Amino acid sequence: MDNGLQQDKIYVTRSLMPSYEEYIEEIKPLWDSHWLTNMGAYHQQLETKLAEFLDVQNVSLTANGHMALELTLQALDLPEGGEVITTPYTFISTTHAIIRNGLQPVFCDIKDNYTIDETKIENLITEKTVAIVPVHVYGNICNINAISEIASKHELKVVYDAAHAFGERFHGQPVAGFGDASVFSFHATKVFHTIEGGAVCSNDHTIYDKMYNLKNFGIRSEDTVVAVGANAKMNEFQAIMGLCNLRHIEDAITHRKQLYEQYISILKDTQWLTLNSPDKDIAYNYGYFPVLFKDAKQRDFIYEELQKQDIYTRKYFYPLTCDALCFEEKFNACDLTRARDFSQRVLVLPLYPDLTPEQVERIAKSLIEAGGKCI
Ligand SMILES: *Cc1c(COP(=O)(O)O)cnc(C)c1O
């Protein structure tokens, strides 16, 4: 069977995997214990190891990142109908988590680094505002100090969607400790993953405690149900994938960094292209390589041209979450000039640890060539 062509396809990401032998060896004990889920030994072990690695007091593991976000908002007991200031420049999960809690998203525009524009937050605060849900987009960190000041002044909760910021530090401080809670996704496409999975991180033990109830039906012992919880537990196969991947995460990030720098060296002088430049004070995880084109026409043209060469980039994030079909035209009135502009001009290029330098060169050169046909 000739699948040579198939192998040449380059997707925007490719899941990190431990060796087959490493994973198989680690899951073998499950055939003795038959303990496959319900906060088993591996679930507990991964919570402890991640708390150490992320430098935060509590890590509560969940079945996926979305449930981590949705249940964290629930854990904060925010009043029904309350307004939550957030960004539309994110994955749809952020917005859905707010709405599925009976809360109202209020969309704020973004800055040059794609994160929420903290200078526009206060204008959006009303009597009904209860929380802020910012996102560390592409691993660029939000202005945590300004957001924290606004939150204390107006007595608002802050939950960071940190799905893109695994393992990062900002001015030496671990990202997992920001806000009332910081939430990670460990989906297969993320820098660190557990196949599907997520975590709620906090230095406040009450959040860990409430999350335990919310992810396990509120069951605290065989005959005691203390809360109306859902089911969002991480199972043992997921936790073991996490324990294996955690052994290799530093190598994976180092490899990402090399490829990232190679992209920059090839693309930096291309006049019609804007590259992301993460703040120097971030210990960055090199999760994504977003580029901005001149306009939507050029972006869409290059996207198509690269696909013809089996290079699959992503329009990420496009459309804005507030423009999703399911919301019809409900959020049309928001002033989101920059978010709308960026979402029409952005592409995320392939970046994953086992991408080769030859492939990076092929992608970058094809992009320059295609762009040259549409300036
Ligand atoms: C991946 C992601 C999520 C959702 O995580 P899942 O694990 O896929 O449920 C939420 N927010 C952002 C910004 C993400 O990238």
Q: From the first residue on, what is the mean pLDDT of each consecutive set of 10 residues in the chain (375 residues)?
A: 61 97 98 98 98 98 98 97 98 98 98 98 98 98 98 98 98 98 98 98 97 98 96 98 98 98 98 96 98 97 97 97 92 90 98 97 97 87
- Name residues contacting ligand 1 (CB within 6 A): 64-66, 90-91, 93-94, 135, 161, 163-164, 185, 187, 198
- CB-CB contact of 155 with 127 (8 Å): no
pTM of the model: 0.97
CA of 163 to the centre of ligand 1 (A): 6
By DSSP bridging, strand 346-349 and strand 83-86 are unpaired
Number of the ligand 1 atom closest to the C-alpha atom of 67: 9
Nearest residue (CA) to ligand 1, atom 7:
65
Q: What is the pLDDT of residue 334?
A: 81
Number of the ligand 1 atom closest to the C-alpha atom of 65: 7
Cα–Cα distance, 348 to 359 (Å, whole number)? 15
Q: What is the pLDDT of residue 7?
A: 53
Between CA 78 and CA 84, with CA 83 as vertex, the angle to 5 degrees is: 85
Ligand 1, residues 161, 241, 317: which to mutate, most atoms within 8 A of Cβ? 161
Number of the ligand 1 atom closest to the C-alpha atom of 186: 7
CA of 232 to the centre of ligand 1 (A): 15
Cα–Cα distance, 28 to 264 (Å, whole number)? 43
Side-chain-side CA neighbours of 230 within 13 Å: the count stands at 16
Nearest residue (CA) to ligand 1, atom 15:
163
CA of 65 to the centre of ligand 1 (A): 5
Residue 217 DSSP label: T
Q: What is the pLDDT of residue 332?
A: 77
Tokens of 233: 């537990």
Cα–Cα distance, 3 to 20 (Å, whole number)? 22
Nearest residue (CA) to ligand 1, atom 1:
185
